[in-house]
Amino acid sequence: MEGLRNNKLAEDLLHLALAQGASDMHIEPDEQGVRVRIRVDGLLQHLCVLPRAQQSTLLTQLKVWSGMDIAEKRVPQDGRMLLKYVDTEVDLRLSSLPTVNGEKLAIRFLQRQDNLLSLEQLQFSDSNLQRYRQLFHQPNGLVLLTGPTGSGKTTTLYATLQELDAAASNIITLEDPVEYKLPGINQVAVNRRSG
């Protein structure tokens, strides 16, 4: 793809994805090269195909920046990093997965905590927002939010948590992983290794 500089390949790809409004990026090796796809409005779309020769450089840059072990290519890994973009910082959550064609890397772009949305900003209809608020303000019960990757589950849950009175309630979350830290909320990161 023209315009991508070898010495700044990772940064250029991340900026290009953010400029197109991506919530995720997938870097996937195959026989022809390294396919790069982004998720915009819940749908994956083609961004570019890079030569196989650039795979190692690209993955090494991203793994170093996110605190992953660059020598380990046989087991899945997770990492995090901050990226300066325009006038803000974006949190990135990275996950590597070994495949038969080499390591695949998935990247989730997360807005900074000070950019979290309120329920009013989530484009609920007035009647659905009223129903939803009635549900999560009940003294007990269960509310399930389901949907495909990038559909807004996490955004909706964090908007909901911001609206609850953390000072008057004992709110505990179990998250995999904790994406944003919220004041007054007891957030627990799921750790399968420790049970």
Residue 5: DSSP 8-state: -
Backbone angles phi, psi at 24, to 5 degrees: -145, 155
Single out the residue in 112, 131, 159 at which a domain terminates. 112
**What pLDDT is recorded for position 1?**
46
19 contacts 38 by C-beta, under 8 angstroms: no
How far apart CA 195 and CA 192 sit, in angstroms, is 5
1 inside domain: no
194 inside domain: no
Residues 128, 182: one domain? yes
Query: Tokens 């949305």 label which residue?
Result: 117
DSSP assignment of 58-105 equals: HHHHHHHHTT--TT--SS-EEEEEEEEETTEEEEEEEEEEEETTEEEE
How far apart CA 42 and CA 166 sit, in angstroms, is 31
Contacts for 129-135: CB closer than 8 Å, 24+ residues apart: 133/163
Residues 102, 18: one domain? yes
Residue 60 is encoded by which pair of tokens? 């090494």
Q: Closest Cα partner for 68 from 78, 56, 53?
A: 78
**What pLDDT is recorded for position 152?**
83
Residues 102, 171: one domain? no
- Give the amino acid at 164: L
pTM of the predicted protein model:
0.71
Single out the residue in 112, 134, 160 at which a domain terminates. 112
21 contacts 98 by C-beta, under 8 angstroms: no
Residue 42 is encoded by which pair of tokens? 């819940």
Single out the residue in 78, 112, 146 at which a domain terminates. 112
**Tally of domains within the chain:** 2
Query: Which residues of the chain register pLDDT less than 70?
Result: 1-7, 112-115, 195
Residues 19, 93: one domain? yes
For residue 81, list its beta bridge partners: 92
CATH value at residue 10: 3.30.450.90
152 inside domain: yes
195 inside domain: no
Can you tell me whether residue 40 is helix, strand or coil? strand
Residues 107, 73: one domain? yes
Handedness of CA 77, 58, 104, 39 (dihedral sign): positive
Q: What residues make up the domain containing 165?
A: 116-189
Residues 100, 123: one domain? no
**What pLDDT is recorded for position 4?**
54
105 contacts 62 by C-beta, under 8 angstroms: yes
The distance of Cα 72 from the centroid of its chain, to the nearest Å, equals 22
Residues 99, 32: one domain? yes
Residues 107, 26: one domain? yes
Residues 120, 70: one domain? no
